[in-house]
């Protein structure tokens, strides 16, 4: 049986009022001391660029959760997009409307939930190590992303909280242009625009 590991990353929120959170979920090349379970020995690990490349096309299957919990109220959003850069794995998450999503957004705005955390499994059973003993994560399966309180990595940041892009909104809403003759007929029957 494969055990799902959890790693937490620091987030720094920029100003915004929307329901979309964007940022670095996993920083690449940044070593951090971790434990697979509270009673296990600590060790250092680092994620390599490309560690989640298989996941990018399946982004919409991921949930945004609260503290890795499994209850219905702990599902606070869904992933809309994942992309990799040399510095890390970046994601765009749509937070659910309603009491639980609203509370999660407020906790992020207030800095109470300052980090992302991932639930993942390593595809390799024999890990590559650096000469210093740091475990190198080269190919991983991402199971979920959570908003959390206690960060282990400093490189994962929420870079924006926003609403729908104005260009996207304009494309979604099409308003027909009325001609002057039609406007005159409407005014003649008492309808003002």
Record the tokens describing residue 3, joined without a space.
Answer: 């055990």
pLDDT digits (tens, 9 = 90+) for 135-178: 999 999 999 999 988 766 666 556 556 665 444 544 544 445 55
The answer to whether residue 9 sits within a structural domain is: yes
Per-residue pLDDT at 169: 42
Q: What is the pLDDT of residue 1?
A: 58
137 lies in which domain range? 5-164
**The total number of structural domains that make up the chain:** 1
Quote the radius of gyration of the chain (alpha carbons, Å).
Answer: 22
pLDDT score for 139:
95
Beta strand extents in the chain (DSSP E only): 5-10, 20-27, 32-34, 43-47, 63-66, 75-85, 88-95, 115-122, 128-129, 135-137, 140-148, 158-162
Going by C-alpha positions, the residue among 18, 8, 20, 49 that lies closest to residue 136 is: 49
Residue 181 lies in a domain: no
Domain-embedded: residue 171: no
pLDDT digits (tens, 9 = 90+) for 12-31: 544 345 899 988 899 999 99
CATH number at 44 reads 3.20.16
Decide if 75 is inside a domain: yes
Polymer length in residues for the chain: 193
Q: Is residue 191 part of a domain?
A: no
Q: Is residue 106 part of a domain?
A: yes
CA dist 51 and 54 (Å) reads: 8
- For residues 190 and 173, what is the distance between their CA atoms, to the nearest angstrom? 27
Would you tell me how many other CB atoms lie within 10 Å of the CB of residue 50?
14
pLDDT digit string (tens) for 30-50?
998 988 888 999 999 999 999
The pLDDT of residue 174: 45
Cα 193 from Cα 190, distance rounded (Å)? 10
């Amino acid at each position: 049986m494969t055990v799902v590991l959890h790693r937490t990353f620091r987030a720094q929120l920029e100003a915004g009022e929307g329901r979309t959170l964007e940022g670095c979920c996993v920083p690449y090349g940044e070593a951090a001391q971790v434990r697979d379970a509270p009673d296990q020995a600590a060790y250092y690990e680092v994620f390599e660029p490309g560690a989640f490349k298989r996941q990018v096309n399946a982004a919409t299957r991921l949930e945004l959760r609260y503290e890795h919990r499994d209850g219905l109220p702990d599902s606070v959003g869904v992933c809309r997009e994942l992309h990799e850069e040399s510095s890390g794995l970046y994601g765009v998450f749509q937070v659910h409307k309603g009491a639980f999503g609203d509370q999660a957004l407020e906790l992020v705005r207030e800095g109470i939930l300052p980090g992302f955390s991932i639930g993942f499994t390593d595809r390799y059973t024999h890990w590559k190590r650096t000469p210093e003993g740091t475990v190198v994560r080269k190919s991983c399966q991402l199971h979920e992303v959570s908003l959390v309180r206690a960060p282990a990595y400093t490189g994962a940041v929420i870079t924006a909280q926003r609403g729908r892009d104005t260009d996207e909104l304009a494309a979604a809403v099409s308003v027909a242009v009325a001609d002057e003759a039609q406007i005159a007929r409407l005014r003649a029957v008492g309808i003002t625009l």
